[in-house]
C-alpha cells in the first residue's frame, strides 16, 4: 500500500504542512530532530511524491514537454542531454516528442502537451510558428515556452543565437590559409534547418580572398551521413576540388566514405571540414577538423530559461549568444607550397 503524506505526518506526530515543507526543502525552521524523524520514515517506506496530487495543489506537474524534429539526429540528442542535465536535479521530468520534420505534427504535439498539463515546453523548430501558437498568442502566454529556432521567430527575450556565420567563415578561411582555392560546399537540401549563415560565411570567405564563387561547387543534400555521402559523390565529379566544407559533421562522415570509394584519401587528396563539433568527430579516421558549437550548453541554457519562466514568471528571460570555435585536427592538408 502506498504511503501518503497524511500517514507520514501521523507516524511522525507532526502536521501535514510540516511534512510537505520538509519534503520540498522548505523546512529550515524545523528542528534537526523533526526533520530526521520525517525523513527516516520517508526513507524506510521508500515514499515517492504523487505528482498528480501535487499538481492539484501547486498547479505544477514538474514535467516539461520537449519537441525536436528528429530524435535520432546527433545535434538534437545533445540538446536533449543538456536540457535534462539542468532539469532532472530540480525534480523535473522530460516528455520527449518527435515531430518527424512535420509542421502539422509539431502543432498537434504543442496542443497535446498543453492538455497533459506540462509546466512548460522546449520547442526545437526550424519553422515560422503560425499565429495560433506563436510567441504573441495567448497560448504562449499561458504556457511558458522556450524556442530553439536559430532566431527565426522574432521576439525580444529568450533568443538562443549561435554565431554560425563566424564559425563557417573561420573554417573556410582556414582552408584558404592552407592553400586551398577550389573549395566545395555540402549544404542542406531543403532549407529545413535554414543554415543560411553557414552558406553566407562560405561565400563571404571566398569573396574576401578574391576567390570566384562557383555555384556548381555547392551541392545540396540531407544533413545526414547518407546525405553527405550522396552529395559528396556528386561534388567529386569536379576533379579540381581540393577541399570540402560540410554543413554538419554527419555530412562530413558521409563525405569521407564517398572520397574513400573513389580511391582517394582524406586529407592527402581531399581536405574535409565539418560543423557542430560532435564528440564522434574526434574518432573518425583521420580525426575531423570541425567548427564546434556548444550544443550541450544550448540545451542546458534553454532548460534554465524555461524553468526560470515557470518558477519566476515576473522575471524577464534574457537572450543568449553562443560562440563557435574551430577545432583543428587532421583532416586538412597544407597545400600552400604546391600552389
Phi and psi (nearest 5°) for 180? -85, 130
Cis peptide before 286 (omega within 30 of 0): yes
Q: What is the DSSP letter of 153?
A: S
| Three-state SS at 125 | coil
Neighbours of 196 (CB within 10 A): 14
245-257 confidence digits (pLDDT tens): 999 999 999 999 9
Output the pLDDT for position 56: 45
Output the pLDDT for position 72: 87
Instruction: Give me the residue label for grid cell 564546434.
Output: 292
| Three-state SS at 23 | helix
Distance CA 241, CA 162 (A): 29
Distance CA 293, CA 225 (A): 19
User: pLDDT truncated to tens, each residue of the chain (339 aa)?
Assistant: 567 788 888 888 998 888 877 776 565 678 878 878 888 887 787 776 655 555 544 567 789 999 999 888 888 999 999 999 999 878 899 999 999 878 899 989 998 998 888 999 999 988 878 776 666 666 666 789 999 987 778 888 889 999 999 999 999 999 999 999 999 999 987 655 557 899 999 999 999 999 999 999 999 999 899 999 999 999 999 999 999 999 999 999 999 999 999 999 999 999 999 999 999 999 999 999 999 999 999 999 999 999 999 988 888 899 999 999 999 999 999 999 876
Instruction: Give me the residue label for grid cell 533568443.
Output: 159
Distance CA 216, CA 252 (A): 19
Distance CA 220, CA 185 (A): 8
**Strands 271-276 and 243-246, bridge-based pairing:** parallel
Cell, residue 334: 597544407
pLDDT more than 70, % of the chain = 89
Amino acid at each position: 500500500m502506498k504511503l501518503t503524506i497524511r500517514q507520514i505526518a501521523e507516524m511522525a506526530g507532526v502536521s501535514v504542512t510540516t511534512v510537505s515543507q520538509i519534503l520540498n526543502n522548505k523546512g529550515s525552521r524545523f528542528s534537526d530532530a523533526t526533520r530526521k524523524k520525517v525523513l527516516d520514515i520517508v526513507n524506510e517506506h521508500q515514499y515517492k511524491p504523487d505528482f498528480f496530487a501535487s499538481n492539484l495543489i501547486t498547479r505544477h506537474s514538474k514535467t516539461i514537454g520537449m519537441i525536436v524534429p528528429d530524435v535520432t539526429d546527433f545535434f538534437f540528442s545533445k540538446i536533449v542531454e543538456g536540457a535534462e542535465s539542468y532539469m532532472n536535479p530540480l525534480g523535473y521530468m522530460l516528455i520527449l516528442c518527435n515531430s518527424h520534420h512535420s509542421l502539422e505534427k509539431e502543432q498537434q504535439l504543442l496542443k497535446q502537451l498543453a492538455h497533459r498539463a506540462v509546466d512548460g515546453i522546449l520547442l526545437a523548430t526550424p519553422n515560422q510558428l503560425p499565429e495560433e501558437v506563436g510567441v504573441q498568442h495567448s497560448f504562449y502566454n499561458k504556457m511558458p515556452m522556450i524556442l530553439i529556432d536559430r532566431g527565426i521567430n522574432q521576439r525580444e527575450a529568450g533568443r538562443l543565437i549561435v554565431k554560425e556565420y563566424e564559425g563557417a567563415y573561420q573554417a573556410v578561411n582556414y582552408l584558404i590559409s592552407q592553400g586551398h582555392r577550389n573549395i566545395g560546399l555540402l549544404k542542406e537540401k531543403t532549407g529545413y534547418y535554414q543554415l543560411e549563415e553557414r552558406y553566407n560565411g562560405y561565400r563571404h570567405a571566398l569573396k574576401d580572398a578574391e576567390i570566384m564563387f562557383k555555384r556548381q561547387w555547392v551541392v545540396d543534400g540531407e544533413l545526414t551521413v547518407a546525405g553527405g555521402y550522396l552529395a559528396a559523390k556528386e561534388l567529386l565529379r569536379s576533379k579540381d576540388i581540393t577541399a570540402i566544407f560540410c554543413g554538419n559533421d554527419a555530412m562530413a562522415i558521409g563525405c569521407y566514405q564517398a572520397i574513400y570509394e573513389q580511391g582517394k584519401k582524406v586529407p592527402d587528396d581531399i581536405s574535409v571540414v565539418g560543423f557542430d563539433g560532435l564528440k564522434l568527430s574526434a574518432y573518425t579516421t583521420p580525426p575531423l577538423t570541425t567548427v564546434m558549437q556548444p550544443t550541450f550548453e544550448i540545451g542546458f541554457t534553454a532548460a534554465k530559461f524555461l524553468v526560470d519562466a515557470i518558477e519566476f514568471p515576473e522575471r524577464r528571460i534574457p537572450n543568449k549568444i553562443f560562440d563557435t570555435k574551430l577545432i583543428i585536427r587532421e583532416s586538412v592538408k597544407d597545400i600552400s607550397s604546391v600552389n
